[in-house]
Structure 1
Amino acid sequence: MNRRRLRLELRRAREAAGQTQTEAAQALEWSLSKIMRIEAGTVSVSVTDVRALIQQYGVTDPKLVAELEEAARGSKGPSWWAPWSDIMTPGFKSYIGYESAAASIRTYHPVIMPGLLQTEDYAAAVLKPLTDDARARRIIELRTARQERTLEGDAPPPWLFFVVDEAALYRQVGGPQVQRNQLQHLVNMAQRPRVSLQVLPLTAGAHYATQTSFVLLGFHDDEDLLYMEHRGDATVRDDFELIVRYQECFEWLRETAYDTEHSIDLITRVREGIDTT
């Protein structure tokens, strides 16, 4: 979050000063890649570098200067997900940092429940064919921590929009009882404030995301970000044409899916129809 704040504010300051990245780098006798990485939010930034940049850009607002210096100090601290860094891909580390700062999260998965909606037992069943038990437990710990931070964090939680495929309601991941509990969890989640949950009916047919899951992160002061796990945990920020395609796709999914009341009724009927004897 601190790196993102620095990325946005320093880019704005440079553009307000009428300088290109190359001009700023030459004036500071830095490499162009250093400026580019700072504005991409992929590196931490020292207070000394921030002071050099704001002087170069002519930033004089004392409140903004103090906030940027504090963000620079925070950008060097360990991230909350540091205990699980060894089980995370570089792409997912980048994504989860943005997720922590998002104002809205829009998620669709065509096969199973999205990670932020999964119970621990359901997640364990999903992971069982993919990895060993020890690694699966740590992944579930991380997923649970993500859910808690997203739903129960100190800051105002983001708006959450989920479209769940109807097929996922019937697929008994982990067996009948695990699936029943998972479906009840969906009902509970759908009744929370700032959560929208809809079910895409089987009659919807094929669409742009028929074979892929995706997440769109929205921000108050920046463009949307697209995350696609099937592309190697790719976080897409600059391919605006691709992002627009998935924005349009998600709006189509929401328009085609059942509304929340109908979705809850369907989930409840499917749950009650699962035989656990």
Structure 2
Amino acid sequence: MTHQIDPSLNRRKLRLELRRAREHTNLSQREAAERVEWSQSKLIRIETGTVGVSVSDLRALLTLYGVTDPELAEELEQAARGSKGPSWWSGYHDVITPQFAQYLGYEGAADSLHTYHPIVVPGHLQTRAYAEALLTPRDLDESMFSRVVDLRMERQQRMFDDSGRPACAFVLDEAAVRRQVGGKGVLEEQLGFLLDLGSRPEVSVRVLPFEAGAHYSTLGSFVLLGFPDDDDLLYLEHAAGSMTGGEDLSLLARYQECFREITDRALDEPESADLISRVRQDLGVH
């Protein structure tokens, strides 16, 4: 299954190229906005990728920044034409926060994803039954419950649809592998799904065993997104969610080092698959 380029990816391309072009001219955002007679907030929204760009607005900026390469100009005009309209997750606007919507845009553009979860199987890897069991204690109304699960499943499908998705490395704490979310039958299916995904060449699933001890992120999950043309981004998963990139390099570096440390302590892929298989067999479902 293939998907059209999401508008958020076109907005991201414009964000990067237009910011780079402005900085090359040594113009501040305020100065650039004044030159084209815009509000500064409009330029900021364009440079953060939160809005699309019309072709006429794009041409005004390219003229201001002295961008004369016809191939680049045509490429950016195509991106501008594709920057309007809703993203795939817009239909779930009632069940996701603006912060998480912004994160999904970044996730769709990343070429690598590294994540650690100490408590449960992360959303990227959950079966529908596991996701439903995990959400049940939240006491959501029925329609919202179904939509949250549908969002999680569509996100997963897009990530693993074999159309050039990012290289993914997942480290799960042993507690996440053993916790019987939904009971033995649900966990048995979930562990089988982990084994299936972990067998793919672009996906790494590893387990951090109990004997690994404490580390920096013992109490919290996190995601590191990598990009070939931009700063890496850190997403800390908690009730409100939070993202940080180049504006907090020390925190980003701390979690990058944390993931390296966790990876060093984790079982390798074959050992992890063996552990998951043993836990699955011990459930005695079949």
* TM-score range relative to shorter protein: over 0.9
1:115 is matched by which residue type in structure 2?
Answer: G
- Could you tell which deviates more after superposition, 7-16 or 33-42? 33-42
Q: Which residue of 2 aligns with 1:71?
A: 79
TM alignment of 1:75-90, pairs within 5 A: 75-90=83-98
Task: Find out whether 1:27 has 2:35 as its counterpart.
Answer: yes
Equivalent position SS for 2:88: coil
Counterpart in the other structure of 2:195: 187
Q: What is the match of residue 15 of structure 1?
A: 23
Moved over 3 A (4+): none
Alpha-carbon shift at residue 153 of structure 1 (Å): 5.2
- Alignment partner for residue 248 of structure 1, among 257, 260, 278? 257
Partner Cα separation in structure 2 for residue 162 and residue 230 of structure 1: 18
Given residue 85 of structure 2, which amino acid in structure 1 is its aligned partner? Answer: G
TM-score normalised by L of structure 2: 0.93
CA distance in 2, matches of 1:147, 1:228: 19
- Give the superposed CA RMSD: 1.4
Counterpart in the other structure of 1:265: 274
Normalised TM-score (structure 1): 0.96
Report the identity percentage: 54
Alignment of 1:173-212 (within 5 A): 173-212=181-220
Q: More displaced, 103-112 or 237-246? A: 237-246
**Would you say 1:133 and 2:142 are equivalent positions?**
yes
Q: Distance in 1 between matches of 2:50 and 2:261?
A: 33
Residue 231 of structure 1: how far off its partner (Å): 5.7
For residues 139-159 of structure 1, what are the alpha-carbon distances to aligned partners after superposition, in whole Å with 9 as ceiling and x for unaligned?
1111111111111153x1110
Once the two structures are TM-superposed, the CA of residue 176 in structure 1 deviates from its matched residue by 0.4
Residue number in structure 2 paired with 1:44: 52
Q: Structure 1 153/275 Cα, relative in aligned 2: closer, same or farther at 3 Å?
A: closer
| 1:169 is the counterpart of 2:169 | no
* 2:182 match: secondary structure: coil
User: Residue 243 of structure 1 aligns to which amino acid in structure 2?
Assistant: L
Cα separation, 2, equivalents of 1:202 and 1:108: 14
Unmatched runs of 5 consecutive residues or more in structure 1: none
